[in-house]
Amino acid sequence: MTTPPPPTIAPANGRLGVLTVGLGAVASTLIAGVELVKRGQGKPIGSLSQMATIRLGKRTDHRSPLIRDFVPLATLDDIVWGAWDVFPDDAYVAASRAGVLEAGKHIEAVSDALREIRPMPAAFERKYARNLDGEHIMEGSGKRGMLNRIREDINRFREDKQVDRVVMIWCASTEIFIEPGPAHMSIEALEAAIDANDETVSPAMLYAYAALLEGVPFANGAPNLAVDAPALRQYATDHGVAISGKDFKTGQTLMKTVLAPMLKARQLGLRGWYSTNILGNRDGEVLDAPENFKTKEESKLGVLEDILEPAKNPDLYGDVFHKVTINYYPPRGDNKEGWDNIDIFGWLNYPMQIKVDFLCRDSILAAPLALDLVLFMDLAQRAGLGGIQEWLSYYYKSPQTAPGLYPEHDLFIQLTKLKNTLRWMMGEEVITHLGREYYTEI
Ligand SMILES: NC(=O)c1ccc[n+]([C@@H]2O[C@H](COP(=O)([O-])OP(=O)(O)OC[C@H]3O[C@@H](n4cnc5c(N)ncnc54)[C@H](O)[C@@H]3O)[C@@H](O)[C@H]2O)c1
């Protein structure tokens, strides 16, 4: 297969509006972090777009610029924030409530910027997140009213803030589990379902559809179907709007997508993988409802099967017991603890165990992913790459792929794909790691 010619990338002129759906722990940590970095009061640790280098050409060429110097990304100074939330708290209050960042050290230092970000009333219905009872909600007539209102909000934001481009990112609570059904199969069916206030059209789908109708790229940080509904995927492709999802890959799944490929690379067998978490933030509270956890569970469970491919390797992976639970435990707040007990076997079937105890900070891990996603989604849009951005799988637990294509979960394959996409976009050679040239030229 020949590599297609690189795209033409429009320059990142002007301001980039970033609309977050949800102004909770992740969004407020993202916003406060970027504002601190802009003022030289923090480093964007965990952000590939800001911290990583990319090798270009041969290893002997010694060309490894920072990614942000290599590709024409919007700068942090170009970003202008906007948000919707079910609660009226501004970003200062949201960050203080979330309890992720230290008030004295990190919230007060950017309080002026945070105070300015007041969320717009949310498109929300309680039945999609029962454990949430905010009242900062759009007035309007049903789903059609919400869709129109979101579109108006986007356009008002554009005008008020004088932004040149907009990206939307879902950082709101995980909705209840909705399987793709008749309402999601075509735009005509979706339009009719919106008018009929069909239950299978959730607020996340309305935000996603509104974004696409306004030509705004949409990234989905939660496992909700949202822009992964077939009708929206098709619309995004047909209209050249970038989309990506689902569910930020942080914490336990990040570990899983590093450890499982290692087992497979060494052809070690797996009998069982028991994962459990305690988490005490609002996300944990919403996920305490079984219908909402089901959405998350689907997203977390698929990973092992896709990596280990049991059908190809039944001796090693044909009978794996995989269990994932999340327990709401308020004392921990955002500082999630994730335990994994992994039962493996080696040479002649001898059993072994791996135990992981990851004392992580959920939003500290998620914020840099959200930053990279908005910058790369904006880049994709300027490069004319509409539809699913599979090269951004690196950021997601359930990467969106073309229908019929299994997702690539291995973190390092995802990283290679991401970097090769950037090389291709900029007209550099993609790196295959074959490396024969170092030996044939001697
Ligand atoms: N932090 C992580 O490591 C991580 C990883 C993967 C996925 N996620 C997902 O990211 C999302 C955000 O996580 P968080 O920790 O910030 O949660 P959070 O509960 O602190 O914030 C979510 C916010 O979304 C708001 N909201 C809910 N429904 C809304 C709607 N329809 N419109 C507008 N606002 C709405 C809520 O009021 C809340 O303030 C969750 O879905 C979570 O599952 C987080």
Q: Measure 75 CA to ligand 1 centroid, in angstroms.
A: 25
**Ligand 1 contact, 370 CB (< 6 A):** no
Q: Which atom of ligand 1 is nearest to the CA of 28?
A: 16
**Ligand 1 contact, 86 CB (< 6 A):** yes
Sequence-distant (6+) residues with CB within 8 A of 165 are 14, 15, 16, 17, 74, 378, 381, 382
Range 131-135, long-range pairs (CB < 8 A, 24+ positions): 131/285, 131/286, 131/288, 131/289, 131/292, 132/86, 132/173, 132/282, 132/286, 134/85, 134/86, 134/87, 134/88, 135/86
Task: Please name the residue that has the structure tokens 């950082």.
Answer: 171
**Ligand 1 contact, 369 CB (< 6 A):** no
> What's the order of all strands across the beta sheet hosting 321-328?
321-328, 269-279, 337-345, 351-359
What gap in Å lies between CA 31 and CA 352, rounded to an integer? Answer: 43
Helix axes 290-308, 251-265, angle to 10 degrees: 20
Burial of 13-33, coded b for 16+ CB within 10 Å and e otherwise, reads eebbbbbbbbbbbbbbbbbbb
**Ligand 1 contact, 366 CB (< 6 A):** yes
**Ligand 1 contact, 137 CB (< 6 A):** no
Could you write out the DSSP letters of every residue in 110-122? GHHHHHT--PEEB
Q: What is the pTM assigned to this prediction?
A: 0.96
**Ligand 1 contact, 99 CB (< 6 A):** no
Contact 24, 83 (CB under 8 A): no
Radius of gyration for the alpha carbons in the chain, expressed in angstroms and rounded: 22
Helix (H, G, I), strand (E, B) or coil at 272: strand
**Ligand 1 contact, 174 CB (< 6 A):** yes
Query: What pLDDT is recorded for position 141?
Result: 77
Pocket test for ligand 1, best of 132, 153, 173, 288 (most atoms within 8 A of CB): 173
**Ligand 1 contact, 25 CB (< 6 A):** yes
Contact 39, 180 (CB under 8 A): no
Q: Whose CA is nearest to atom 29 of ligand 1?
A: 172
**Ligand 1 contact, 247 CB (< 6 A):** yes
Q: Whose CA is nearest to atom 37 of ligand 1?
A: 86
Going from the C-alpha of 79 to that of each of 12, 13, 37, 375, the distances in angstroms are: 11, 12, 12, 9
- Measured distance between the N- and C-terminal CA atoms of the chain, rounded to whole angstroms: 29
Q: Which atom of ligand 1 is nearest to the CA of 296?
A: 43
**Ligand 1 contact, 363 CB (< 6 A):** yes
**Ligand 1 contact, 120 CB (< 6 A):** no
Q: Which atom of ligand 1 is nearest to the CA of 251?
A: 3
**Ligand 1 contact, 178 CB (< 6 A):** no
Query: What pLDDT is recorded for position 133?
Result: 87
What gap in Å lies between CA 217 and CA 398, rounded to an integer? Answer: 18
Query: What pLDDT is recorded for position 441?
Result: 64
Closest CA to 276 of 209, 336, 229, 201: 336
Parallel/antiparallel/unpaired status of strands 351-359 and 387-388: unpaired
**Ligand 1 contact, 31 CB (< 6 A):** no
Instruction: Give per-10-residue mean pLDDT for the chain (442 aa).
Output: 91 98 98 98 98 97 97 98 98 96 95 98 93 88 95 98 98 93 97 97 98 98 94 98 96 94 98 93 84 79 90 96 92 91 98 97 97 98 98 97 93 97 97 91 60
Pocket test for ligand 1, best of 20, 21, 26 (most atoms within 8 A of CB): 26
